[in-house]
Amino acid sequence: MANEGLRDNETLSSLKNESETLKSKLEEERAKLHDVELHQVADRVDALGQFVMKTRRTLKGHGNKVLCMDWCKDKRRLVSSSQDGKVIVWDAFTTNKEHAVTMPCTWVMACAYAPSGCAIACGGLDNKCSVYPLTFDKNENMAAKKKSVAMHTNYLSACSFTNSDMQILTASGDGTCALWDVESGQLLQSFHGHAADVLCLDLAPSETGNTFVSGGCDKKAMVWDLRSGQCIQSFETHDSDINSVRYYPSGDAFASASDDATVSTSICLPILTLLLFMCSPYTVGRLLFTGYNDYTINVWDVLKGTRVSILFGHENRVSTLRVSPDGTAFCSGSWDHTLRVRGFLMYVNIGLLRGIPVTYRGIRPYMGIVGPIPNDSDSGFRIYFRSSVNLFPLEK
């Protein structure tokens, strides 16, 4: 397809100049509309109280760094993948491993659960995305039914089923994203625009349209139209690789998180306030969870732009985070070989307890920061759940 309006003798430097001019113009246009920050608009909204999250389950079994995880729509199962080449499907309620597969490569950086719950997809250094149907027939070898769907020319960094088992969207170190038909393995659409490895992607909530957002090592977050392959908008607000992008459940905003230690919430038109690392907004959107290299997870109040909690417990970098489909829990995976599923231990009623330090069951909150959770089990997934509000008297 010819490059419209570009003369053959345009040099690299004239292109770069034009690029800079256009970027300034874009910044100007955006700045004109940037009349307020989100937390200012949300000024009169009550702040969230302190809350505490407890590990309820620890899933053990990976032999090396956990790189990715995804929940099943049944809110109970999850799939995780690891540097050691293993992909495991867990029943988070019982902590049983229901399926396990060994990939032919190490560093399985991406995994996803099919919407039907009947299959999983995964890939990494093999440059492919493969789909494995899940079967409970003990006589069947899961690896035998493997189907190679996507083929990239560099590592697979992320994958996601669209709203059916029939199509998969992939992101790769080759700088492209691509949409594939699972049955035939055919490439349906490819998405070019990143100038370096694409590290992450997230599909818009299905009710809000056919778009997805991707983030890359070129520091750009790009929003794409699934059908046409066109990039609708791009944002260059980070100073470093974008490790994670997530759509807000409303569909008209997304958050991006980067090695530069900031998280941006970008409404698909102007840009908003900043926040942090690997994020996962959930079904409603008040909270944003971010995981870090320093082994912690921060929980942020999106409206206020403030941090409401820090969670400890992992013994190495947090590599992946997802909230369960019904928002009752979230799961984090780490380089410490484990996954932790977390929910809230209690929720403090704001009117009653704001500013009063209270000790609950041995876990001591301090000004909104949760102290280290006793290491009562080894590596694995830890699942935290919300439980009812239980206030215990101050323990002296």
Partner 1 sequence: MPVINVDDLTDKDKAVMEVEQLRKEVKLERALVSKCCEEIQEYILAGADDDTLVKGISEEKNPFKEKGGCVIS
CA–CA dist 153, 120 (Å, integer): 22
Region binding partner 1 by CB under 8 A among candidate stretches 106-114, 158-166, 188-196, 352-360: 188-196
Near partner 1 in 286-305, by CB under 8 A? 286-287, 302-303
Asked if 347 is part of the footprint of partner 1 (rule: CB under 8 A), the reply reads: yes
CA–CA dist 335, 2 (Å, integer): 46
Quote the least distance from Cβ 15 to partner 1, whole Å: 4
Q: Which of 126, 197, 202, 336: binder of partner 1 (CB under 8 A)?
A: 197
Region binding partner 1 by CB under 8 A among candidate stretches 79-87, 138-146, 314-322, 344-352: 344-352
Look at residues 354, 353, 373, 352 and name the one whose alpha carbon lies nearest to residue 362. 373
Region binding partner 1 by CB under 8 A among candidate stretches 79-87, 111-119, 174-182, 367-375: 174-182
Asked if 172 is part of the footprint of partner 1 (rule: CB under 8 A), the reply reads: yes
Asked if 203 is part of the footprint of partner 1 (rule: CB under 8 A), the reply reads: no
> In this complex, which beta carbon is closest to partner 1, that of residue 42 or of residue 353?
42
Could you give the strand order of the β-sheet that contains 110-113, starting from the edge strand earlier in sequence?
A: 110-113, 119-123, 128-133, 147-151
Q: Which of 106, 250, 262, 359: binder of partner 1 (CB under 8 A)?
A: 250
State how beta strands 369-370 and 365-366 pair.
antiparallel
Q: Which of 57, 86, 246, 322: binder of partner 1 (CB under 8 A)?
A: 57
> In this complex, which beta carbon is closest to partner 1, that of residue 137 or of residue 376?
376
Asked if 337 is part of the footprint of partner 1 (rule: CB under 8 A), the reply reads: no
Q: For residues 223 and 211, is the Cβ–Cβ distance under 8 A?
A: yes
Residue 297: is it exposed, middle or buried by C-beta count within 10 angstroms (0-12/13-18/19+)? buried
Region binding partner 1 by CB under 8 A among candidate stretches 99-107, 141-149, 200-208, 326-334: 326-334
Region binding partner 1 by CB under 8 A among candidate stretches 64-72, 277-285, 332-340, 352-360: 277-285
Q: Which residues contact 43 (CB under 8 A, 6 or more apart)?
A: none
> In this complex, which beta carbon is closest to partner 1, that of residue 57 or of residue 238?
57
> In this complex, which beta carbon is closest to partner 1, that of residue 5 or of residue 355?
5
Near partner 1 in 214-233, by CB under 8 A? 231, 233
> In this complex, which beta carbon is closest to partner 1, that of residue 146 or of residue 286?
286
Near partner 1 in 133-162, by CB under 8 A? 151-154
The residue assigned the tokens 């929910």 is 343
Quote the least distance from Cβ 392 to partner 1, whole Å: 14
Quote the least distance from Cβ 143 to partner 1, whole Å: 23
> In this complex, which beta carbon is closest to partner 1, that of residue 192 or of residue 354?
192
Asked if 255 is part of the footprint of partner 1 (rule: CB under 8 A), the reply reads: no
Query: What is the b/e burial string over 64-96, where b = at least 16 CB atoms within 10 angstroms of the residue's CB?
Result: ebbbbbbbbeeebbbbbbbbbbbbbbbebeebe
Asked if 391 is part of the footprint of partner 1 (rule: CB under 8 A), the reply reads: no
Other CB atoms within 10 Å distance of the CB of residue 377:
14
Q: For residues 289 and 31, is the Cβ–Cβ distance under 8 A?
A: no
CA–CA dist 145, 372 (Å, integer): 44
Residue 211: phi and psi, rounded to 5, are -130, 165
State how beta strands 187-192 and 198-203 pair.
unpaired
CA–CA dist 78, 382 (Å, integer): 12
